[in-house]
Amino acid sequence: MLMRLPSVIRWLPAGQHSLGHTGEHQTSMSWLVWSLLSALFAAATALLAKLGVAHVEPNLATAIRTTVVVLFAWAIALALGSHSGIHGIDRRSWLLLGASGLATGLSWICYFRALSLGEASKVAPIDKLSVVFVILLAWPLLGEALTTRKVAGGVLIAAGAILLALG
């Protein structure tokens, strides 16, 4: 059964979705466009979460947010037909995706607690130090090259986050 796409994602180009060789949905939009949209929505997340957590216990706020994310993610998966691949997921992928979900939950709990205690303009940059951790850990764990450009970018991100958090 094909569901109607939520209005917020109707702008996705019709007919341009294809199932990639890894089972991921792909469109003609590049990784850069998706990354920029992710950054925009992450900024909205920080601002809306800061306002939302003002009068709500942070763990409850995380639970509410997580419920919305789960419902929205399944609506998209069902609407795009991605759910049909669930039977082909191997044990290793289930374990890694489960671990990723736990890490996401822990990240969100910490993030909401930080937002309840600090300014969004200071919490968000520190949260983005995750980029530095990914650069460093992708080298030994994923075999990605640790280039001079990546190290320099990581140092600049770290310096910027620290500068913003101290300001």
Rounded Cα gap, residues 98 and 115, in angstroms:
25
- Decide if pLDDT at 15 tops 70: no
pTM: 0.74
Tens-digit pLDDT profile for residues 52-102 = 999 999 999 999 999 999 999 999 999 999 999 999 999 999 999 999 999
Provide CB contacts within 8 A for 130, sequence distance 6+.
107
- Decide if pLDDT at 1 tops 70: no
- Decide if pLDDT at 13 tops 70: no
Under DSSP, is residue 21 helix (H, G, I), strand (E, B) or coil? coil
* Confidence at 167, pLDDT banded by 50, 70, 90: confident
Rounded Cα gap, residues 120 and 67, in angstroms:
22
* Confidence at 16, pLDDT banded by 50, 70, 90: very low
| pLDDT on residue 28 | 64
* Confidence at 10, pLDDT banded by 50, 70, 90: very low
Higher-confidence position of 4 and 157: 157
* Side-chain half-sphere exposure of 99, counting CA atoms within 13 A: 5
